[in-house]
Amino acid sequence: MLLPYFQALEAGPIGEAIRQSTWLFPFIEAFHLVGLAVIGGAVLLVDFRLLGLGLKRQPVAELARDAQPWVIGGLLFMIASGFLLFLAESIKCYYSFAFWTKMTALALAILFTFTVRRRVTLADEARVGPFWMRIVGATSILLWSTVGWGGRWIGFS
Amino acid sequence: MLLHNLMQWMADTEWSVGLHESRYAYSIIESVHVWTLCLFVGFAVFLDLRLLGVTLKRVPITQITERLLPWTKVAFVLMVVSGLLLFFAIPLRTYHNVFFRLKAVLLILAALNAWVFHNGSMYRRLAEWDDAAGTPRAAKIAGAASLALWVAIIFSGRMIAYNWFDCDKPEPALVDLVAGCVR
């Protein structure tokens, strides 16, 4: 059903230009990895705190507010660079289990981050309690890790 | 030549061949390497950004060095172990890889930068500017240098997988020299 769209995207001028170039694809990949380090750091910083690790003396809400622009900025950067990579090999992605795993996990991770995790990090810590903070932190790490692993495995197929 | 032969010997070992030809092991190790990048470089980036006075302004620097740096160290060990295994899977070719050599040099520079920062006079006087949102010039320089180095390390690391300058095909003399090709 979606295949014609994927074929059209792959046939487009941007995908064509990236495929024609020796350097473009690897360079965009490297940018994608730099973005990964930033968003990974920003997400883990808060998730570790939710798990009761790392910067324990800081209030969760304060850390979450500081990290937020880096999560959002990193996410936009990842989506932009990832979309360019996708344009270069859309059809391969269409048939890749890793790609669909990643996209599903990404949708869930974004949804979770900007609803449940956002509410929990900004809420009164005494009200949420350490148990639910741990659950939220662990879920976030699990979801985002699936996005990362899925992404890496697109390249192995 | 000595190292070249050592790499050749390593490449011929059963373990190296096994890792190289494995269906999943190599991919899993590479994924671990990439996952740990988030923890290692990710936390390092936030220390650097704090040193630049860009974010986490209310977090004292010592909190980051005392509470986050241990995790960064654990991640660094994982990074090195997984990285060495990736090297061990393809030793000879990686040894002559231009980007691997560049990455090795950049890693040494990053280590030097971190060492200078942690042993410099401004770090000894950390108590004076620990809580301050604004940081001394020297701290900003250390943070900026670290950020630039890690970006360059990620780039060169990713490029190792692309063998544009392999010793098994004719290359310009300069590439030959940098790659240490044995012809």
Confidence label for A37 from pLDDT (cuts 50, 70 and 90)? very high
pLDDT tens digit sequence for A103-145: 999 999 999 999 999 999 999 888 899 999 999 999 999 999 9
Task: Name chain B contacts of A37, Cβ cutoff 8 Å.
Answer: 37-38, 41-42, 45, 150, 154
The model carries a pTM of: 0.94
Mean pLDDT by 10 residues, chain B (183 residues): 92 94 93 95 96 92 92 96 96 95 97 91 82 85 96 97 86 90 84
Range of the domain at B94: 2-179
**Domain range list for chain A:** 3-154
pLDDT tens-digit map of A40-58:
999 999 999 999 999 999 9
How many separate helices (H) and strands (E) can be counted in chain B? 11, 0
pLDDT in tens, A3-13: 999 999 999 99
DSSP assignment of B142-174: HHHHHHHHHHHHHHHHHHTTS-TT-TTS---HH
Question: Shortest Cα distance from A10 to chain B (angstroms)?
Answer: 22
Write down the ipTM of this complex: 0.93
The pLDDT score that the predictor gives to residue B165 is 87
Answer yes or no: do B64 and A70 touch at CB < 8 A: no
The domain total for chain B is: 1
Contact A37 B37 (CB under 8 A): yes
Distance between CA atoms of B43 and B57, rounded to whole angstroms? 15
Tell me if A71 sits within 8 A of A118, measured CB to CB. no
